[in-house]
């Protein structure tokens, strides 16, 4: 896994370095650059984003998503979402259930805590 990640990062670095010419290209300025009033994204930031994306993709796979699907899912996330998710897939809220049993379980918890509190304050 780690070897794969390191290799992935090296490929990405090579590609991004190769893609960067030493002079800036004439181009359309992206809409996001206008909204964020960004300085032209520095090379370091670009690499950081690529690494974060690779990290989240790896993590999705570790949590049971197939490699192809993980790629597609990460591609649809914004840079900010990727940054928020990186390293936190295990702890972020994951909406899951809503059946009656869950409500009952939660209710039971409340009752139990109430009873405990009664004892504590007696």
Partner 1 sequence: MKARWLAGLFFLGLLALGGCAGLAPQTFAIKDQPPADMPLRAELSSIPFFPQEDYYCGPAALASALNAAGARVTIEKLIEQVYLPGRKGSLQSEMLAAARRHGMVAYVLDPDLFQLLREVAAGTPVIALENYGLSWFPLWHYSVLVGYDLARREAIRHSGPKPREAIPLGLYENLWLREGRWAMVVVPPERVPATASERRYAEAVIALEKAGQTRNAHVAYAALVKRWPASLAGLMGVGNTAHALHDLSTAETAFRQAVAAHPDSAPAYNNLAQTLLDRGKFDDALMAAQRAVALGGPLLATARATLEEIRRKQATVTRAR
Binding residues for partner 1 (CB under 8 A) = 23-35, 37-40, 60, 62-65, 69, 72-73, 75-78, 81, 84-85, 89-90, 92-100, 102-107, 109-111, 113-114, 117
Structure tokens at 111: 């009752």
Alpha-carbon Rg for the chain in angstroms = 23
User: Would you say 12 or 65 has its CB closer to partner 1?
Assistant: 65
Q: Contact, 70 vs 57, CB < 8 A?
A: yes
Q: Contact, 51 vs 12, CB < 8 A?
A: yes
In sign, the C-alpha dihedral spanning 92, 93, 95, 100 is: positive
User: Would you say 14 or 80 has its CB closer to partner 1?
Assistant: 80
Instruction: Give the nearest distance from C-beta 37 to partner 1 in angstroms.
Output: 8
User: Would you say 14 or 117 has its CB closer to partner 1?
Assistant: 117
């Amino acid at each position: 896994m780690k070897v794969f990640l390191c290799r992935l990062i090296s490929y990405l670095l090579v590609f991004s370095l190769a893609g960067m010419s030493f002079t800036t290209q004439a181009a359309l300025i992206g809409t996001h650059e206008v909204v964020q009033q960004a300085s032209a994204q520095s090379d370091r930031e670009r690499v950081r984003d690529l690494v974060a994306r690779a990290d989240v993709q790896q993590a999705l796979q570790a949590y049971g998503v197939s490699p192809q699907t993980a790629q597609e899912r990460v591609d649809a996330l914004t840079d900010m979402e990727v940054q928020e998710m990186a390293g936190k897939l295990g702890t972020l809220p994951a909406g899951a259930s809503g059946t009656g049993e869950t409500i009952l379980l939660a209710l039971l918890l409340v009752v139990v805590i109430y009873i405990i509190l009664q004892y504590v304050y007696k």
